[in-house]
Amino acid sequence: MMERFEPTPEQREVGALAREIAEREIAPHIAHWDRTHHFPRELYTKLNAAGLMGLTIDERYGGAGADYLSYALAIEELARVDAGTAVTLSVHLMIAAAIGRLGTDEQQAEYLPRLGTGDVIAGFALTEPGAGSDAAALLSTARRDGDHFVLNGRKQWCTNGAYAGVTMAMFRTGSAESKGISAFLIDHSLPGIVVEKTTEKLGIHTSNTVDLAFDDMRVPASALLGAEGTGLSNALGALTTGRIGIASQAVGILAACLDASVKFAKEREAFGKPIGAFEGVSFKIAQMATDLDAARLLVYRAAALCDLGLPFAIEASKAKLFASSAARRHAAEAVQIHGGYGYTTEFPVERYYRDAKITEIYEGTSEIQQLIIARSLLGRL
Ligand SMILES: Cc1cc2nc3c(=O)[nH]c(=O)nc-3n(C[C@H](O)[C@H](O)[C@H](O)COP(=O)(O)OP(=O)(O)OC[C@H]3O[C@@H](n4cnc5c(N)ncnc54)[C@H](O)[C@@H]3O)c2cc1C
C-alpha cells in the first residue's frame, strides 16, 4: 500500500511546474505584495497558462484532469513561495470539484470551462458571524418565490470573495436543523450581493477575505447546487478535499521554513562558528526536517486514498491537524534560528510565522479535526 502514496514522475512534474511558476512569477514580488496586501489578480492568468487554474477540473470541460496527489504537490510548491496564492487556488479548485460532483449538466457547462481558465474565480461562503465551527447554526435564509429564491443574510470571511465570479453559499431553506440548509451557486453578476467589508489579517495578505451581504437577492431555482436540504453535508464534503489543500499549504510553509533555516544556519556565525554547529540550532533543524517528512506522508496518503476512490476524510483531518501544528511550531523556530533578523522583514521567516497560524483555523480548526478523528474511534458518546 505504501508505494501508492509515493508520487509518480508525472505527478512530480506538476509540482515542478508549480515551483517554476512560483519562483518566476511570485517570488520576486511577494515581499511587496505582502506589505501592500495586494491580491495579484493578474497572476491567475499566468497560472492558467500553466493549466493550474483547472488542474483538477475534468478534461471534458477544458481542465487538466489531474489527481489529488498532483494537486497536493502543486499547492505545496505555491505555498512554499506564497501561502496566500496557495489558498486562493485551493478554494477555487474545491468549488470546481463540488460543481463537478454535485452540479447539473447545465451548471457544469456554465461554470467549469470558465473556472478552468481562471476567467472566473470561485469562492465558498459557509461561515457567518454566529456560525463557524457550528455551521449548522447558520441563519441566512433562502425563501422560495415561484421559480426563484430570495436570499438574505451575511457571510463572513469569504476567501476570494471580492474577486469571485461564483460562490458556493449555504442558506437556510427549511427548519432550524442541519437538514434545513441548502447550497447555492451564487453568480456575482446578479444584483443583491455586496462586498461589505475586507478583513485585515495577521497573514496570508495576498489572499482576499471579505464579508458578503445578501439583501433580497433573487436567484433562479436552478442556482441550487445539489438537492434542497443537502447543503450542509455537501459543504462539509467539499471541505474534506479542501483539507488536503490546507494541509499541503502547511507543508509548503514548513518546507520554506526548513530551506531558510538551513541556509541561515550555515551562513550566520557566532562565537567563531556557523550557528548550525551548535546543537541548540541543528537539533531544531533536524526536528523540522523530520516533521516535514511526516506531514508530507500524511498528505500524500490522504490524497492517494482520495484518488483511489477510498474513504479519506479521517486521513485528511489527520494530515491537516499534524501539518498545520508542525508549520506553526516550526515557523516560530525558524524565526528563533534567525535571531533578531528573523523578526525583521529583511528575511521571509516572519511572514511564514504569520502565515502558518491560519492553517490551524480555517476549513475546520484543529479542535474540530480532533473531534472528527476522535469520533471515528469512539463514536458519538
Ligand atoms: C482568513 C480566513 C479565511 C476564511 N475563509 C473562509 C471561507 O472562504 N469560507 C467560509 O465559509 N469560512 C471561512 N473562514 C472561516 C473559518 O472556517 C472559521 O473561522 C473556522 O471554521 C472557525 O470558526 P470560528 O472562527 O467561528 O470559531 P468558533 O467556531 O467560534 O471557535 C472558537 C474556538 O472554539 C473551539 N471550538 C468550537 N467548537 C468546539 C468543539 N465542539 N470542541 C472543541 N473546541 C471547539 C474552536 O476550535 C476555536 O478554538 C475563514 C476564516 C479566516 C480567518
DSSP string, 130-150: TBSSSGGG---EEEEETTEEE
d(CA 283, CA 262): 11
Chain region(s) in the chain for CATH 1.10.540.10? 2-121
pLDDT in tens, the chain (381 residues): 555 788 999 999 999 999 999 999 999 999 999 999 999 999 999 999 899 999 999 999 999 999 999 999 999 999 999 999 999 999 999 999 999 999 999 999 999 999 999 999 999 999 999 999 999 999 999 999 999 999 999 999 999 999 999 999 999 999 888 889 999 999 999 999 999 999 999 999 999 999 999 999 999 999 999 999 999 999 999 999 999 999 999 999 999 999 999 999 999 999 999 999 999 999 999 999 999 999 999 999 999 999 999 999 999 999 999 999 999 999 999 999 999 999 999 999 999 999 999 999 999 999 999 999 999 999 988
The C-alpha atoms of residue 204 and residue 211 are separated, in whole angstroms, by 17
* HSE-up (13 A, CA, CB side) for residue 129: 8
pLDDT reported for residue 177: 82
What is the position in ligand 1's atom list of the atom closest to the CA of 123? 8
- Residue 176 has what pLDDT? 80
Q: Which superfamily does 2-121 belong to?
A: Acyl-CoA dehydrogenase/oxidase, N-terminal domain (1.10.540.10)
Strand partners, 225: 183
CATH number of 123-232: 2.40.110.10
- Measured from CB, residues less than 6 Å from any atom of ligand 1 are 91, 124-127, 132-133, 157-159, 201, 209, 358, 361-365, 367-368, 371
Alpha helices in the chain (DSSP H): 9-21, 30-36, 43-49, 68-81, 83-102, 105-117, 231-267, 279-307, 313-337, 339-343, 349-356, 366-378
Tell me the three state secondary structure of residue 348: coil
Q: Does domain 239-378 have CATH number 1.20.140.10?
A: yes
Domain with CATH 2.40.110.10 in the chain: 123-232
The 3-state DSSP class for residue 72 equals helix
Nearest Cα to Cα of residue 88 among 245, 194, 237: 245
The span from the CA of 150 to the CA of 201, in Å, is 32
User: Ligand 1 centre from 39 Cα, in Å?
Assistant: 23
Stretch(es) of the chain classified as CATH 1.20.140.10: 239-378
pLDDT at 2: 54
Output the pLDDT for position 1: 53
363 is catalytic: yes
Q: What is the pLDDT of residue 175?
A: 86
Nearest CA to ligand 1 atom 25: 132
The answer to whether the pTM exceeds 0.85 is: yes
